[in-house]
Amino acid sequence: MDRFTVGMFTVLGAIFIALSALSSANPDDLPKIVVIGPNSALPDGGTLVVSGASFLRPFDSPDAHCARCGTPNFWCRDWVVKHLLEKATIHATLPYSSALLRFTGAPEALTAYGN
């Protein structure tokens, strides 16, 4: 792993631990780390630390979530991102890392740029 990825894991871990300690016992309030791969709407991608997204795993991506649900397509990915922007609380935004996206289990077909 390169230094940037190691640094990202360190920062994300610290944010995750701090927000977990501050949140209540409600699972919806626990922070989630969401990696959004580059696409035509978000060419640089990004990494979000959010709460209020109970349908996501603690470390997830829209692509991986949609693949688990059996709908690995761009409409599903866009729905997840739209839901995060409208309903979840975004605590931090960080740069995109392809290593973090692969760690979520996102299928390669959806993670290619230009989709």
Distance from C-alpha of 54 to C-alpha of 14, rounded to nearest angstrom: 21
6-35: buried (b, 16+ CB within 10 Å) or exposed (e) per residue?
Answer: eebbeebeebbeebeeeeeeeeeebbbbbb
DSSP-derived 3-state class of residue 58: coil
Distance from C-alpha of 22 to C-alpha of 44, rounded to nearest angstrom: 30
Domain boundaries, the chain: 3-111
pLDDT in tens, the chain (115 residues): 666 666 766 777 766 666 665 555 566 677 889 999 888 778 899 999 898 888 999 889 999 999 999 988 889 999 999 999 999 999 888 899 888 898 898 887 555 544 4
Q: Which residues contact 109 (CB under 8 A, 6 or more apart)?
A: 72
pTM of the predicted protein model: 0.74
